[in-house]
Amino acid sequence: MDARVKTLIEDYLQGLLATLEDEAQLIWAAERARSAELNLQGSTRFDGSDQATMRALAYLLEILVKRRLGREVHLYLDANGYKERRCAELKLLAGQLAEEVVRERKRVRLNPMAAYERKAVHEALSGHPEVHTYSEGQGEARRVIIEPQE
């Protein structure tokens, strides 16, 4: 991520956090040429589980960078490591559900999930010899299906 882009994002977020009286630190978790994952560590105002708010804030930052610097970037925001914890929980759940699918010989349809959540489930079961996974649905209604291998 370009230094000017990072500075613009950091300045904007620090101003927002100061306004909200939130002392979170911005952690650049992963950076690529045109995208980055950011974590608001220690935030008291943002909860990573509220994905709609996190996506909205990331979108505003993307627009800011586009308008001020004329650059396209993609940002993924998290707060207090929520996504990492959620993925770990989902991987455990996926293993339990796979056992149920094998035992009952019936497919399981999970509730709709964000893309990173579906990815965690697919990855957790990708090497499982007795089940396979796929996603169905569109947009916010997209969900993972776990089925027994035939």
Average pLDDT score over residue span 100-129: 96
Q: pTM higher than 0.85, yes or no?
A: no
User: Which residues, including other chains, have CB under 8 Å from residue 4's CB and lie 6 or more apart?
Assistant: 69
Measure Cα distances from 87 to 11, 24, 52, 84, 108 in Å: 30, 22, 17, 5, 19
Q: What is the pLDDT of residues 85-111, one digit of tens each?
A: 999 999 999 999 999 999 999 999 999
pLDDT score of 4 more than 90: yes
Cα–Cα dist 112/118, whole Å: 9
Average pLDDT score over residue span 67-92: 95
Q: Give the residues across from 10 on adjacent strands.
A: none
Check: CB of residue 93 under 8 Å from CB of residue 122: no
Domains with residue ranges and CATH for the chain: 3-80 (3.30.300), 84-148 (3.30.1370.50)
pLDDT score of 43 more than 90: yes
> Please, what is the average pLDDT of the chain?
94
Return the number of other C-beta atoms located less than 10 Å from residue 147's C-beta.
15
